[in-house]
Amino acid sequence: MVVTCDKVTDGSFYGDAIVMLKEGIIRLHYLNPAELTLKNKKSVRKIYGYDKTSVFTAKSMKRRQGDTALRGQLRVPKDYLSTLATESGGSVFSQTVLSKSFREQKYAASILGRRVAASGTPSSCQVCDCLPTREGSGYFLCYQCLVKDFDLLKYTWNQYVRPDPPR
C-alpha cells in the first residue's frame, strides 16, 4: 500500500487501510518519532512501545507480555498510523529510545523483536486464492475466514458429494 503524506494527514485512507490490513491478515508495526509518556508526569518509567492491550517497558524483558495496567495511563499519540498499527494487531514503538544509550537501544530492540516475532503466528483459518498477474504468472492472495466454524467451500462441496435423498 502506498500512502502519500497528504493522505496521512487527512485520514481519508483510514477505512480502506484497516479493511486491507484486517482481511489480508497483515499486522502493522510502527516506529513513531514521538516519545511515549504516561499521563502522570511524575512517572520515571521509560516506555518503549505499546499495543492494543499493553505497554512495553524495561520489565517486559523478563516476561513475554507487556504491562496491561499501564495501558490506560498511556498518553497515546493521535495519528492515523499509530491507530492503524494497534487496530491491525500490531504495535507502536518510540523511535527516540533507539537513539539513546546502548543499554536502552538493546532493551528496546529486544522487546520490539519479541513483539514482532510474537505477531508472526499464522492465522488458524485462512483462505488462499491463486490469482494471475498481467504477465500471466500467479501469486497468492490470502485472507482470514469470516467465520471459522463455517467454511462455505466445505459446505458446498459436501452438499454435492452427498445429495439429499429423494422424498
- Structurally, the chain folds into a number of domains equal to 2
Domain assignment present for residue 166? The answer is no
CB 85 within 8 Å of CB 92: yes
What pLDDT is recorded for position 84?
A: 87
141 domain residue, yes or no: yes
Does residue 167 lie within any of the structural domains? Answer: no
Alpha-carbon span 9 to 17, nearest angstrom: 14
- What domain range includes position 143? 126-161
Domain membership flag for residue 94 = yes
Domain match, 134 and 112 both? no
**Shared domain check, 114 and 131:** no
pLDDT digits (tens), the chain, 167 positions: 333 334 455 556 667 777 777 766 788 899 988 888 888 876 667 888 999 999 998 887 777 778 888 888 888 888 888 888 888 888 999 888 888 888 888 888 888 888 888 888 777 777 778 888 888 888 887 777 766 555 556 666 666 655 556 66
Write down the pTM of the prediction: 0.69
* Residues 43 and 21 grouped into a single domain: yes
H/E element, 33: none
Position 25: which residue type?
I
Residues 81 and 150 in one domain: no
